[in-house]
Chain A
């Protein structure tokens, strides 16, 4: 399969770059731990346990935004995107490769964040882990497309949170619901639906965003 070997090569390129510099991943980990510590001071003493799950989702969302603002940094600074667009591969492969790399970064950051959350606040349940995985897929799908848009704008890093936050509200609803509800299946199903819809939409529309 030619398409998937292109995707694999593009994702490997991002992971190798990250392995050599390690700046995005390390800043995401530090950021999410620091956010959790700040949140522990922002909760009143007699807060119910559910509130900390809500804060965890805010921390995860902000960490994802932090990682996504750097997603196209190398491409922009070294003008790699022009070369990629000219390369004889499907443009949606660029999106898929980048989204896979973003999922990998998010998952690595959460491998630190979730144990830290369990240590500082509440236990991590299987429903929470499932919701985090589904939310990562959705955030990476939408976020990669919007990051490509933001990278083409003059406002750059400033623009991405403005574009992404309204679109991420359903993810937060699904994630918080799956973590605290008695019936997490509905919320996990909703997250899966969100992923499906927006992954197809982003996959189909990426080409229009990167070509001149």
Chain B
């Protein structure tokens, strides 16, 4: 891909993210009617859930690139997988923060072990933080690339396994206090707003990903050139 085309993609993604997120927020605040029980504060749903789904998408993308790396034995994918995990972790932290705020406004507590999604994201946060510890304590090279790829693949398997574990633990280890069926029945306007917000967060993640990746590639190229000079 030529540089100008790549720049165009980055700009287009950034503009799309801005327009979609602004539009989605406007729809969420001014168009969607108040939720029956939760009222106005339920609107954080249009931020929290898209951000969470985007984090999953990033982790999935990272695992896909990791699989390509191991399959094709091509180290080019290492940087892409790493950047995707980086974005996933950022959106994962955002999920924890927005979920915590929602828990506070709904139930008056900042944290509830009965909330599956939040607990799962805490586990994933710990898991992918260790990914960075692993990367930074291994010397760069093909072996580090493969180790990171294996770990990223483990992550995407851990997501459903952990989800199952958290469901099993519910009621036995942590009592179920709250039950919130957010996805049960979205009305037309709610679904549309949700989809706009989801497209917005996906575009934001993609835009950040492309920018970060370009930066890291330039960085790597610069280092190679510097080494060639000395």
Contact = CB atoms under 8 A, between A and B. Distances in A.
Are chains A and B native binding partners rather than an unrelated pairing?
yes
B166 interface: yes
Contacts of B133: 155, 159, 162-163
B147 A152 contact: yes
B130 A162 contact: yes
Interface in A153-194: 153-155, 159, 162-163, 165-167, 169-170, 173-174, 176-177, 180-181, 186-187, 190, 193-194
A33 to B, nearest CB: 26
Interface string A94-137: 00000000000000000000000000000000000000000000
Given A149-B151, A176-B173, A177-B168, A166 B127 contact: yes
Main secondary structure of the interface of B (DSSP, over half): helix
A77 interface: no
A153 B138 contact: yes
A30 interface: no
A9 interface: no
B137 A194 contact: no
A139 B220 CA distance: 37
Contacts of A34: none
A154 to B, nearest CB: 5
A169 B159 CA distance: 12
A176 B166 CA distance: 12
B142 interface: yes
B13 to A, nearest CB: 31
A176 B170 CA distance: 12
A28 B179 CA distance: 43
Contacts of B146: 208-209, 211
B149 interface: yes
Nearest to B173: A176
Contacts of A197: 157, 161
Contacts of B149: 208
A60 B157 CA distance: 24
Nearest to A150: B134
B172 A181 contact: yes
A198 B162 CA distance: 12
B10 interface: no
A195 B161 CA distance: 11
Contact of B164 (A155, A163, A170, A209): A170
B165 A155 contact: no
A177 to B, nearest CB: 6
A170 B139 CA distance: 31
B158 interface: yes
A149 B144 CA distance: 9
Contacts of B124: 166
A186 B167 CA distance: 12
A144 to B, nearest CB: 13
Given A155-B137, A169-B162, A209-B146, 20 more contacts: A149-B147, A154-B139, A159-B133, A159-B137, A163-B133, A166-B123, A167-B127, A169-B123, A170-B165, A177-B173, A201-B153, A201-B157, A205-B70, A205-B153, A208-B70, A209-B143, A209-B150, A211-B143, A212-B142, A212-B143
Interface of B: 70, 123-124, 126-127, 129-130, 133-134, 137-139, 142-143, 146-147, 149-151, 153-154, 157-158, 161-162, 164-166, 168-169, 172-173
List 6 tightest A-B contacts by C-beta distance, closest first. A170-B165, A166-B127, A155-B137, A208-B146, A153-B137, A173-B165
